[in-house]
Structure 1
């Protein structure tokens, strides 16, 4: 009878086995056993993915001083979280003095539920510009109510200066505001941009696209009620910088001028997903907008929440619904695009 031990396994099998462990348990179980395991962990394992969303403070205290300095240059994915399972994690991370710049091979960074704490300030993000290999950056549900958005101007410029960044997800709320500051520098790499919960003005979009000339997909959610009918001025005409955008996602849109301004700026859109509220648009009006502003559109998904003036008479309500739907029963929708 053969008795198989860990020592008898090949290095290849051990490396496959290591992938089944989270970082803390892997290092706690195998680090320091002998020189072979140390060599595998600190030389042969080429990359680590560190997700700290559910780590206890006790485990973090073990990870930071004993192991993190040894693997920091091979961490390609890092996720920090201040949610209810790991409160004040970012504060604690900052207090250790271990800065983001130590992760010089980081490819993906996610900061989740960063809390509004006076001990956490913009200096926590001050090393972002040193993450030269970063391709994906995500700020999810971050609420810094003690800071003004102006305090983050330098951080935004750092992000736009990252040489390899292609994906950015931005969900921040600051003190009294949810505005997104337009960067002052040009991004030569950013292609996919999502901005959540954004109170914005239409004229900012042209400036944003000017600073993001390689943008391919733009996604935004906004509850702005901007209702001024902005004219088509020079700054709203399509610029070469905006012609690269072919995919557009609009969520929670409540302003028709805001949506129309984006359509005017992005005539090369081929795929559109839109969710609108309190805006009454029928099939004829949609057709006019598509023909005038989105001539290259191929794929369309939209959800409309509207009030068709409900009355007491149910049959009248049904007639109004049928009348509305009939505006989509035309050759434009059924035959030409096959969208209805």
Structure 2
């Protein structure tokens, strides 16, 4: 609906088709729709190429929701578009799930599929595959991502992978209570590496090692995958993977265990051009790191984050310059973030080593030093800042070779114990999506913070401690996006209590505009009916509500459903199992219907129930 409004598109009553029309082919659909006079909008003057480019940025359900049954032109585009991204991990609304169930969609046009057991989604992998059997995707699917429930579901999906004829991208993400056995991991690895000949991109986002029993692989077995990502990897596994891959171009390791590096095999890395390491889980000797990198002579991109060191060689620009010139002559992109402990460090000397012609003119690589003098910690990193999450440093001395400390990559910012003097006006976070506030000085104004953060465009704000009521009000008032907030109940009530009567009324007006809320009762033993009614009063127009802890009475669920007229999603995280004589897993739906006083019926909601959590989606 939002897309329709933005581009001046109106629903056309003449263009609504019955269910049989959804199954007709494009030729008959075009003939039928040409007999009607379509509504013309500004959006319709755009060429098809631009509209199809827009589709690339949307998930399948968003496209159908925005453009289905508008007129014959858009209907034809929906039927002929061949690059749909069907993502069941993002759906939290029952209406979205219903929409996907009734999509006017040729399944052969789905090129990307994400299956998930996300607790905040109204569906799961099993339900998705009942609606869309996996064999329907064998012929043309190119990208598959899944987050299985358990080892059995993981293995079930893995065994089906060789049936996909065009699969190029595979992502497996999993958080299991028990890790798969070594035999199962080997079976999974052999299928992924050696039986899917079309696969080029593979991500294993899993705490379980992917390389158990790796010495049992046949030397002649080679993988065609070119781009890898792994949650964890040691040096022996890296060498093994290189040996068993024909053309490994890129590898991204989230946690590297390279401490015991010896490099006995001295094999060549003849194809690797990109390497990214997010974190070294063990201290890495500088000489060992250089020895390891010296064999990656074709690297064009190198990124190293999360390296903690006591050696000054890591922060010596001259050593890096000499090494790169000798061993990595093709390196075009070099990004790093190092943390060094040294109470006697001279940051003027450190930064001077990165101010040679090699760094500033030839490579155009710029470096910033943030020095926490009292703690003896130096953060040294390339600019632009390479991480997407930052805990803002207070009371630090900064020096840089860059004119502007580029923070455009940062999406999530944490402010902790910030005072006015800590705000460096040269920093400006222009692309933030999420802000987390822990203890911020009462004298900081909205204007000061906004010049620093551009708060008006932030989508999610988390308040971890008490905040000045005037600042809180201004944040809500001047935000131009549909903001989602998370706040502790006691902090909220304390802030309202301290506010003046006028300010309190202003804040309550803004709270009623909030559509998405997470509220935490971390220091409340048990929620009362009075507290629930208070939430319903303050956030009367809330659509999505997540309550954490302190929820013990099921009766309060029905109160929330009745009071919050616009509620479409409710998630309750129990501090302790809410035992109830009125409900159990078999009759929870009927109990909810009875207690909701006509708001719920058999067809307009989905619910999930466990000892730890209750989730409800309302159409």
Q: TM-score, normalised by structure 2?
A: 0.42
Counterpart in 2 of 1:164? 198
Deviations 1:169-189 (A, max 9, x none): 221123xxx45455763223x
CA distance in 2, matches of 1:229, 1:41: 55
SS of corresponding position for 1:324: helix
Higher RCO (C-alpha under 8 Å, 6+ residues apart) = 1
- C-alpha change, 1:46 and 1:271, in structure 2 (3 Å) is closer
Say whether residues 1:320 and 2:356 are aligned partners.
no
**1:49 maps to which residue?**
85
1:5 corresponds, among 14, 20, 30, to 14
Larger Rg: 2
1:269 to 299, 302, 319: 299
Q: Residue 244 of structure 1: CA displacement?
A: 1.3
Identify if the C-alpha distance between structure 1 residues 58 and 152 changes in structure 2 by more than 3 Å, giving closer, same or farther.
Answer: farther
Contact in 2 for aligned 1:276/1:305 (Cα 8 Å):
yes
Q: Distance in 1 between matches of 2:96 and 2:240?
A: 45
Structure 2 distance, partners of 1:144, 1:236, is 36
Deviation at 1:286, TM superposition (A): 2.7
Relative to structure 1, is the Cα distance of residues 179 and 121 closer, same or farther in structure 2, using a 3 angstrom cutoff? closer
Q: 1:159 to 1:330 in 2, by over 3 A?
A: same
**Deviation of the 1:191 alpha carbon:** 1.9
Distance in 2 (CA, whole Å) between partners of 1:172 and 1:295 is: 34
2:308 is aligned with 1:278: yes
Tell me the distance in 2 between the aligned counterparts of 1:339 and 1:237.
30
User: What's the counterpart of residue 112 of structure 2?
Assistant: 77
Change (3 A) 1:101 1:260: farther
Q: Quick check: 1:222 aligned with 2:250?
A: no
Which position in structure 1 is the counterpart of 2:121?
86
The structure-2 alpha-carbon separation of the partners of 1:74 and 1:247, relative to structure 1 and needing over 3 Å to count, comes to: same
* TM-score, with length taken from structure 1: 0.71
Q: Which runs of 5+ in 1 are unaligned?
A: 311-316
C-alpha RMSD over aligned residues: 4.0
Q: Aligned equivalents of 2:260 and 2:272: distance in 1?
A: 25
Paired residue secondary structure (2:113)? strand
Match of 1:305 among 339, 353, 362: 339
> 2: CA distance between counterparts of 1:283 and 1:121?
46
User: How far does residue 21 in structure 1 lie from its aligned partner after superposition?
Assistant: 8.9
| Contact 1:23 1:48 survives alignment (8 Å) | no
Residue equivalent to 2:176: 144
1:115, distance to aligned residue in structure 2 (A): 5.1
Q: Give the gaps of 5 or more residues in structure 2.
A: 1-11, 16-32, 39-43, 367-619
1:180-221 alpha-carbon deviations (Å, 9 max, x no partner) = 455763223x222222x30x3312222201222212222112
Aligned equivalent of 1:129: 162
After superposition, what is the alpha-carbon deviation per residue over 1:127-154, rounded to whole angstroms, capped at 9, x for unaligned? 0111120112223x42133332622322
Q: Measured at CA, do residues 260 and 194 of structure 1 come closer, stay the same or move farther in structure 2, by a change above 3 Å?
A: farther
Contact 1:117 1:144 in 2 (8 A): yes
1:274 alignment partner, SS class? strand
| Kept after mapping to 2: 8 A contact 1:42/1:71 | no
CA–CA distance in structure 2, aligned partners of residues 30 and 290 of structure 1: 55
Secondary structure class of the residue paired with 1:267? coil
2:272 is matched with which residue? 245
